[in-house]
Structure 1
Amino acid sequence: MTMTAPVAGAVQPYRWRWPALFVILAAEVMDLLDALVTTIAAPTIQKDLGGSDSLVQWLGAGYTMAMAVGLITGGRLGDLYGRRRMFLVGATGFTAASLLCGVAMSPEMLVGSRVLQGLFGAVMIPQGLGLIKEMFPPEEMGKAFGMFGPVMTISSVGGPVLAGWLVDADFFGTGWRMIFLINLPIGLAAALAGLRFLPERRLSDATRLDLVGVLLVSVASVLLIYPLIQGRELDWPAWTFVSMAASAVVFALFGRYEARRSASGKDPLVTPSLFRKRAFTGGMVAGLAFFSGMIGLSLVFSLYTQLGLGYSPLKAGLTGLPQAIGGVVGFGLAMSGLREKLGRGLLQIGVVVMAAGAAVLGLTIHLAGLDVGPWQLAPGLLLVGVGMGLTMAPFFDIVLAGVEPRESGSASGTLTAVQQLGGALGTAVLGTLLFNLLKHQWSFGAAMQAAVWVEIGLLALTFALSFLLPRHPVPEQQAAH
């Protein structure tokens, strides 16, 4: 699920801008749904295709890691080759990858197809945001970006429930495969409508891709995520620790290479000056901690309800509904004026509320054991969701307030990539923790409580780092200049 901070701009209105907006929103729906559906369907997929417990983690981590790496260059591809063209490439490729997921006959084929989905999604999503900035005049920009809120809300609420329903309904005997095949009509419609309604524009001063930078950050990410997921099943051989240490080295090489590239007058993948700003680096680490815990907890909770409590996929999706509803409530409260009034304080309140909800959830699981029901889990999940909405609403604007206007494009893309990388890292860490504890004869309830405590620790880290952030976001009229 990708959330990107908008950057305003002044353009002449495009005639077909509103139909074009709905094309872009259709692409967002595909991305949002596919970021969520495998958390519910993973146990059923593993039962059908076989594979080890790591398959459950790779279904989410493969998608989000590919998305994280691809997003860094996805927007620049549109600058080079035209946003309409690259949107169509992304939408068509995403749809084809969804078909491959739907017909996968082995765990390896499914994970590989999920990686393809993430890569094509990273090409598709940034083009839509760029096109909006090109098509809409300043006075309509807020309304256009405002459409993303309801779409994200409906998708986050309906995604897990839809996945559970499709798996249980077993349409045409497809079972879990329908969660991917449903993308086919949406993707084809988006591609055909994009041919008709999206404008073709290309920047005359677009810079070349930093392919070496892409390679370095990709290698560093794989060196970190792969051993975290596979190490447990292999009983943590020495190479897993060497790989994780090598990841830090390659990330450092990436930073040095980007600094040298910038100093030589070439356009870097990530603007090095960003990392000299305390507010941005603090926000980046805070975002990594926050999104790791949020996505990781969603995965282990789905496994807990289905494998621990024996819920069907649909019941598991419905059990998580209070968290999604809480997210809607929290986001709505934030956008009602609290975001501008409280600024960083709202983010901190959200983190505290989310941690309190996680504590209530852990206490409920501890007291009720395996006899716990959906209604008993609802209060903690609702609080988690409210805190999540309150935190996410101001996060990007607050962090971006600490960078210069000329750095905002690179900073926004980097933060969005961090969001996705956090999802992959959280899936790896919390999923590995859960399976490792179960391997050592912990009960599902005890293992779930441990995961909750890790999430509370990550939220405490987020709260501590939030004091490095600016107190208030940059006013919209200032950001537009």
Structure 2
Amino acid sequence: MTVTATPGATGVEPYRLRWAALFVILAAEVMDMLDALVTTIAAPTVQRELGGSDSLVQWLGAGYTLAMAVGLVTGGRLGDLYGKKRMFVIGAAGFTVASLLCGLAVNPEMLIASRVLQGLFGAVMLPQGLGLIKEMFPPQELGKAFGMFGPVMTIASVGGPVLAGWLVDADFFGTGWRMIFLINLPLGLAAVLAALRVLPEYRTFDATRLDLPGVALFSAAATLLIFPLIQGRELDWPVWTFVSMAASVALFVVFGRYEAHRVRTGRDPLVIPSLFRKRAFSGGLAAGLAFFSGIMGFGLVFSLYTQMGLGFTPLQAGLACLPQAIGGVAGFGLAMSGLQERLGRGLLQIGTVVMAAGAASLALTIHFAGPAVSAWQLAPSLGLVGLGMGLVMAPFFDIVLAGVEPRESGSASGTLTAVQQLGGALGTAVLGTLLFHLLADEWGFAASIQATVWAEVGLLALTFALSFLLPRHATPSGAHA
């Protein structure tokens, strides 16, 4: 494999160059993570001011994560083919322009389309940063470099909902909810300029070619599944919605057969078919789909409950989410203190049980406290949910990828990350649709959120059952981190 590295003509000493580049990459990761979180808090305000049906609330999140899932399956290869620095800059610039379009949206359709555009450019930007880190840092510094992601992402997850609520309530320059997107303009511009200055260029000359038909099949299959799940309720579930979901399953099968055909004919596949013959990896994909569906779906419906059911302001709703984020920090810290190495898969299973206990406790708290329930009463249950989530997230990726061969690791990592994003879109569609359906049947917010939370408990139970397909421990070296 031939790789060229062309450091920018900055006169920066290589050690400083590496760490300056790392901070640029981290800034891009934070920008993406914030944009994945902020719309869960701002969605009720967006719908109230911009108009649109209940499906707008779901599409704000699902459009972004679905586009991210579709783009991630091939985003990393674009960097291999055309240069990681170049594609990072294109991704960051496109993400910034898409954020501007979101902030200028004049109708729901323009906003959703701009969110999809954000997701696609984000999928171009993010894989390049991770690839650059692997290329820039020597082995003895690589662990320290990747170790920066944990604290930074944790701070972003804690601050994201609060920042979104504060920006909406503060109404800077009369922008209201639009500021959650417009704030990306200085951040994105700074990331582009800094990337042009400090990121070195890496390009793999014998990189695998793009599998565009495979991308098209995967994209169509995912869209045929998510679209009817979100729109079907408002249209009273016409026949075509069920035909679409059935066609989605068939198209995923066609996608699998097509990828196998590419391997047999000596062409580069989008996803290596042999991965799906590994019980641990296939089971991990199914467990990840259930787990991440629950996380994203729960985040949306809880935000809707606090604002539309309890009358919280966006800032109050963001603050109400803090116990879960803080619990996640604590759970991740516990896992990294040595529990992950000792317990392996057992830690993931313990975390799932803790999350389910927290969700069940939340449903019971809402039931017994009634409509006067306060954020303080909800806090212990949310903290438990976050604690379990941190315990699950810490070992999840390493354990799922433990049985993957080195030659399959790139394809496996990309596929698993894409399924994570697809799970986010699926959870937003399923749990959001369930909540709106129950509200339309006049269940009331308290009863509707309780039923939706119990559905989340069911997804966690499914995750727990599927976890027995995973290896007992991750790779000792943590090579997949």
Q: Given the two structures, how large is their TM-score scaled by the length of structure 2?
A: 0.97
Note if contact 1:301-1:448 (Cα within 8 Å) is conserved in structure 2: yes
Once the two structures are TM-superposed, the CA of residue 269 in structure 1 deviates from its matched residue by: 0.2
Aligned pairs for 1:165-180 (under 5 A) are 165-180=166-181
TM-aligned CA deviation for residue 14 of structure 1: 4.5
Partner of 1:248: 249
CA apart distance, 1:208: 1.1
Counterpart residue identity of residue 430, structure 1: L
Q: Moved runs in structure 1, 4+ residues, more than 3 A?
A: 11-15, 477-480
Name 1:133's counterpart in structure 2.
Answer: 134
C-alpha distance in 2 between matches for 1:397 and 1:238: 42
Q: Structure 1 CA distance, aligned partners of 2:374 and 2:263?
A: 56
SS at match of 2:203: coil
Identical positions, percent: 79
Q: Partners of 1:204 and 1:20 in 2: how far apart? A: 23
Q: Which residue number in structure 2 is paired with residue 340 of structure 1?
A: 341
1:207-232 deviation digits (Å, cap 9, x = unpaired):
21000000000000110000000000
Q: Shift of the alpha carbon at 1:265? A: 1.2
SS of structure 2 residue aligned to 1:202: strand
Q: What is the alpha-carbon distance in structure 1 between the residues aligned to residue 139 and residue 480 of structure 2?
A: 12
Which residue does the alignment assign to 1:393? 394
Counterpart amino acid of residue 170 in structure 1: D
CA distance in 2 between counterparts of 1:384 and 1:44 reads 26
2:413 corresponds in structure 1 to 412
Q: Deviations over 1:166-199 (max 9, x none)?
A: 0000000000000000000110000000000000
**Corresponding residue SS for 1:201:** strand
State the partner residue of 1:277. Answer: 278
Correspondence list, 1:72-83, <5 A: 72-83=73-84
Q: Which residue of 2 aligns with 1:162?
A: 163
> What CA RMSD, in Å, does the superposition of the two structures yield over aligned residues?
1.4
Partner of 1:36: 37
For structure 2, the 5+ residue unaligned runs are: 8-12
Structure 1, residues 407-464: CA drift from partner, whole Å, max 9, x if none?
Answer: 1111100000000000000000000000000000101011101111111100001001
Q: How does 1:368-383 map to 2 (within 5 A)?
A: 368-383=369-384
The count of residues paired between Structure 1 and Structure 2 equals 471
Quote the residue 1:60 is aligned against.
61
The aligned counterpart of 2:265 is 264
Structure-2 separation of matches of 1:71 and 1:311:
36
Equivalent position of 2:298 in the other structure? 297
Give the Cα separation in 2 of the matches to 1:82 and 1:316: 42
Q: Distance in 2 between matches of 1:45 and 1:54?
A: 12
In the TM superposition, residue 151 of structure 1 has moved relative to its aligned partner by 1.0
Give the corresponding residue for 1:181.
Answer: 182
CA contact (8 A) 2:398 2:478 kept: no
Aligned to 1:6: none
Write the distance in 1 (CA, Å) between the matches of 2:251 and 2:131: 31
Give the whole-Å Cα distance in 2 for the aligned partners of 1:271 and 1:282: 16
Gaps of 5+ in 1: 1-8
Contact kept, 8 Å, 1:14 with 1:136, in 2: the verdict is: no
What does 1:78-157 correspond to in 2, within 5 Å?
Answer: 78-157=79-158
Q: Report what 2:215 is aligned to.
A: 214
**Partner Cα separation in structure 2 for residue 201 and residue 236 of structure 1:** 49
Deviation at 1:264, TM superposition (A): 1.1
1:4: which partner in 2? none
Q: How much has 1:358 moved relative to structure 2? A: 0.2
Q: Which residue of 2 aligns with 1:234?
A: 235
The letter of the residue matching 2:447 is A
Report the 3-state secondary structure (helix = DSSP H, G, I; strand = E; otherwise coil) of the residue aligned with 1:179.
Answer: helix
Between the aligned partners of 1:169 and 1:279, the Cα distance in structure 2 is 48
| Cα displacement (A) at 1:479 | 6.7
1:327-371 CA-to-partner distances (Å, cap 9, x unmatched) read 000001001111111100000000000000001100000001111
Q: Deviations over 1:60-86 (max 9, x none)?
A: 000000000000000000000000000
Q: Give me the whole-angstrom Cα distance separating, in 1, the residues matched to 2:32 and 2:152.
A: 11
Measured in 2, the distance between the counterparts of 1:324 and 1:350 equals 15
